[in-house]
Amino acid sequence: MGVVAALGVATASIGNARAAETIKFGHVGQPGSLMDKVATEFAKRANEKLGDKAEVRVYGSSQLGSDTQMLRKLKLGTIDMSLPSTVMSSVAPSFALFEMPFMVADREHMSRIRESELIRGKLDEAAESQNYKIIGIWENGFRNITNNERAINTPQDLRGIKLRTPNGQWRVRMFKSYGANPTPMPYSETFVGLQTGAVDGQENPLAQIYPARFYEVQDYLSLSRHVYTPAYVLTGASWQRLPDDVRQILAQTAEDMQPVALEMGAQLDDELLTKLKDEGMKVNDIDRQAFVDASKPIYQAFEEEVEDGAAMIEEVRSLKDE
């Protein structure tokens, strides 16, 4: 083989090696969860556009670690994308906006919040200050309470209940103010925690409750919809190392998936509530006004402790009835 031919083969081999580069996208959702469905659809759409430039590969079920561990890996560049939710409130104070109870009225309201220059600007700035980049805002969903003690109708019903929460100080503070005993725990450990009695209950969207089979170890489902949590399509140190055209495809596809995530979330809520009832869970609605009244101190604390907190809350409220 001549030198030119050999160089051609070597160049082709390098090109194929680059084409085989995997973009690792991790999340904690179980198979069948909203996170799983939306991330899988994102990868399908992105890979169709990427061709041989790169391949997005999704790793669900905490295969790449907990949300906190994946945040660290993003900073190190050992993974490329993740889909954190509540844990972002531990990254920067602005993300605690979505820890405020009963703030998001419905998905249409959330869509307007997401497009707000004030809100999106604050979140983007907060992420970038910690060397992350948000390329899309999808959905984790409206959170509801399950437990083995009793139906939750008012905040008083939470008194003494050991409730698993994600690792975020505002969720802990909120449930403490209601009288519960909040216990931060990785999502991947929650089933065993409920099964062994380490905790009495937990709170999550239906699209996390059903795929994790919490109905096997929980009796009561109280439809509180107390907090709406977005899921942030997050990148880290490896983002700038990707070619411009790859970054553009990933960012545009993540943005295109934003309304799709909301539609999938609404559909799953309807389907999974029926399935959870069929599994024997005792389902009840809460006294929403009692919880709203009990939540006023949390809003006051957010406005006092978070820079521009009052302005962010006012912006969200102004978008509610458009």
pLDDT at 12 over 90: no
Tell me whether residue 127 is exposed, middle or buried, using C-beta atoms within 10 angstroms of its C-beta: 0 to 12, 13 to 18, 19 or more.
buried
Mean pLDDT estimate for the chain: 94
d(CA 225, CA 209): 13
Per-residue confidence at 308, pLDDT binned at 50, 70, 90? very high
Q: Assign 17 a pLDDT band (cuts: 50, 70, 90).
A: very low
Residue the block writes with tokens 């809520």: 269
pLDDT band at 321, cuts 50/70/90?
confident
Helix (H, G, I), strand (E, B) or coil at 145: strand
The stretch 198-211 carries a mean pLDDT of 97
CA R_g for the chain: 21
Q: What is the pLDDT of residue 322?
A: 61
Q: Please, are residues 116 and 319 in contact by the beta-carbon 8 Å criterion?
A: yes
Binned at pLDDT 50, 70 and 90, residue 2 comes out as very low
Nearest Cα neighbor of 143 from 193, 189, 90, 207 is 207
DSSP H stretches of helix in 28-91 = 34-50, 67-76
Distance, C-alpha 123 to centroid of its chain: 14
DSSP structure class, residue 52: T
**What is the chain's length?**
322
At 11, the pLDDT band (50, 70, 90 cuts) reads very low
Nearest to 234 by CA among 253, 248, 254: 254
Q: Which domain holds residue 49?
A: 3-318
Residue 242 CB contacts under 8 Å (≥ 6 apart), including other chains: 23, 54, 80, 250
Mapped onto helix, strand or coil, the DSSP state of residue 310 is: helix
User: Cα 171 vs. chain centroid, distance in angstroms?
Assistant: 14
Asked whether the beta carbons of 202 and 146 are under 8 A apart, the reply is yes
**77-95: pLDDT as tens digits:** 999 999 999 999 999 999 9
> Residue 291: left if φ>0, alpha if ψ -120 to 50, beta else—which one?
alpha
pLDDT 10s digits, 231-281: 999 999 999 999 999 999 999 999 999 999 999 999 999 999 999 999 999
When pLDDT is averaged across residues 211-232 and rounded to a whole number, the result is 98
Cα atoms in the 13 Å half-sphere on the side-chain side of 111: 15
Q: What is the pTM of this model?
A: 0.91
Q: Are strands 228-235 and 181-184 parallel, antiparallel or unpaired?
A: unpaired
In whole angstroms, what separates CA 213 from the centre of its chain?
19
Q: What single-letter DSSP state applies at residue 30? A: P
Q: Kindly tell me if the per-residue pLDDT of 13 is higher than 80.
A: no
pLDDT at 78: 98
Query: Residue 9 has what pLDDT?
Result: 42
Select from 136, 101, 46 the least CA-distant residue to 300: 101
What is the model's pLDDT at position 168? 87
**Pairing outcome for strands 133-147 and 220-223:** antiparallel
Asked whether residue 6 carries a pLDDT value surpassing 60, the answer given is no
pLDDT at 167 over 90: no
Domain count, the chain: 1
CATH number at residue 178: 3.40.190.170
Question: Of all residues in the chain, what percent are helix, strand and coil, respectively (each to 5)?
Answer: 55, 15, 30
